[in-house]
Amino acid sequence: MLANGNLTDELKIFTGNANPDLAKAVADYLKVQMGKCEVFQFSNENIFVRIQESVRKKDVYVIQPTCSPVNQSIMELLIMMDALKRASSERITAVLPYYGYGRTDKKDQPRVPITARLIADLLTAAGASRILTLDLHAPQIQGFFDMPVDELTAENLLANYFKKKKLEDLVVVATDVGISKKARDFAAKLDAPLAIIEKRRMGNNDITRTINIIGDVEGKNALTFDDEIDTAGSLVGNVNILINKGVKEVYSCATHPVLSGPAIQRIAASPIKELVVTDSIPLTPPKKIDKITVLSIAPLIGEAIYRIHTGNSIGEMYDQMQME
């Protein structure tokens, strides 16, 4: 741990209701107290925020993934930042371990929005001076902001977990061509070859059709790699195809466990040996099944906050920090 806990009271951490356990774990890593505030919804669904301590001239970090309930989480974040701005905070960093609407990053059909850009504009208008996020669905989202954006990655955390498992005959499988570059870097960390599942998305209903598997997978243990898992339809389909292609066992990993709709039922009934995710999005008790392993990103987020606050390099963090 590089953060030594000797932080001044100039640093404040606040959170809404999206992932308070992660925010508390980050505060514990930094050895600072959580900022005091109340965030709740009236019966008419209006959100109320009150900051319960002075933040004048403070360096403030609001930890709030924009996960389910997505729109409520976004509004909580925007209203919290507005309250902090009006309370004369010196700097407000929006810490988004998961960036909702990240898939809508371009105009790929006629008359559709670029919602990822809209969210960026809203965060700016609400008072954010800086963004700290994790494994964006599309790297170009960084360019939607006219402010510093630090994008962290959970690749080292996930890779170190599987290094310790010492799986034999391992092949890393990119779940589509779009993530193949990240998957290649991930495979290099594990000293494993790379295969790519080539597929085509059918419309807007999360339905995909696999066209081909590029690479040798027969007789190997496969590890699928993706940035997020939503309904798990594509994941389970990929796993079944890999099994049919002669793979011995299939492991899966992803940073963001969205796991909406029938995802848990699909994963539980699938031949997946183990799914490894992070706590960027909290898993409710019904989603905590034996096949799913959750790794904490609190040290990663905490170290980044420490470095931003003290003016040290984020890029050097990955060389110096020993991830457990």
The full DSSP string for 96-135 is ESS-TTTT--S--STT---HHHHHHHHHHHHT-SEEEEES
Asked whether residue 68 is domain-assigned, the answer is: yes
By the 10 Å C-beta count (0-12 exposed, 13-18 middle, 19+ buried), 9 is classed as: exposed
**Lowest mean pLDDT, pick from 52-66, 121-135, 163-177, 309-323:** 309-323
pLDDT recorded at residue 293: 98
Segment 187-208 shows an average pLDDT of 79
Q: Is the residue at 34 inside a domain?
A: yes
> What is the dihedral angle through the alpha carbons of 279, 282, 288, 291, rounded to the nearest 10 degrees?
-30
**Do 36 and 115 belong together in one domain?**
yes
Q: Kindly state whether residue 89 falls inside one of the protein's structural domains.
A: yes
Structure tokens at 205: 């209903």
Question: Is 75 domain-assigned?
Answer: yes
324 — pLDDT class (breaks 50, 70, 90): very low
> Does 129 share its domain with 198?
no
Span 222-238, pLDDT tens digits: 999 999 999 999 899 99
The set of catalytic residues is 199
pTM for the predicted model, two decimal places: 0.92
Question: Is the alpha carbon torsion for 219, 184, 205, 70 positive or negative?
Answer: positive
The mean pLDDT of the chain is 93
User: Which residue ranges are tagged as binding site?
Assistant: 44-46, 137, 176, 201, 226, 230-234
Percent of the chain past pLDDT 70, that is, above it, reads 92
pLDDT surpasses 90 at 262: yes
Question: What pLDDT is stored for residue 323 in this prediction?
Answer: 45
Q: Are residues 110 and 223 in the same domain?
A: no
Judge if 228 and 211 occupy the same domain. yes
- Rounded CA gap, 198 and 219, in Å? 20
Say if residue 62 is in the same domain as residue 106: yes
240, pLDDT greater than 60: yes
Give phi and psi for 228, each to the nearest 5.
Answer: -150, 160
Q: Is 22 part of a structural domain of the chain?
A: yes
Q: State whether 146 and 159 are in the same domain.
A: no
pLDDT value at 152 more than 80: yes
Q: Does the pLDDT value for residue 4 go beyond 80?
A: no
What total of structural domains would you count in the chain?
A: 2
Per-position DSSP letters for 219-269, written without gaps between them: TSEEEEEEEEESSSHHHHHHHHHHHHTT-S-EEEEEEEE---TTHHHHHHH
SS3 19: coil
Pick out the residues of the known binding site for Mg(2+). Answer: 137, 176
Residue 196: domain span: 155-295
Whether residue 282 has a cis bond before it, omega within 30° of 0: no
CA distance 230 to 261: 8
Buried b (16+ CB within 10 A) or exposed e, 116-127: bbebbeebbebb
pLDDT number for residue 198: 84
Same domain (yes/no): 261, 196: yes
Using one digit for the tens of pLDDT, what is the confidence trace for 48-94?
Answer: 999 999 999 999 999 999 999 999 999 999 999 999 999 999 999 99
Annotated binding site for D-ribose 5-phosphate: 201, 226, 230-234
**What does DSSP assign to residue 18?**
S
The pLDDT tens digits for 90-145 are 999 999 999 999 999 999 899 999 999 999 999 999 999 999 999 999 999 999 99
**Which residues are annotated binding-site positions for ATP?**
44-46
The predicted pLDDT at position 207 comes to: 57
Specify whether 106 is located in the same domain as 201: no
Same domain for 175 and 77? no
Same domain for 315 and 271, yes or no, is no
Same domain membership, residue 166 and residue 146: no
Residue 116 lies in a domain: yes
User: 42: burial class by Cβ within 10 Å (0-12, 13-18, 19+)?
Assistant: exposed
Q: Per the domain annotation, does 88 fall within a domain?
A: yes
pLDDT at 7: 66
**Domain of 139: which CATH number?**
3.40.50.2020
Same domain flag for 310 and 189:
no
In a domain, 225, yes or no: yes
- Please give the average per-residue pLDDT across 16-23, as a whole number: 98
Tens of pLDDT along 281-294?
999 999 999 999 99
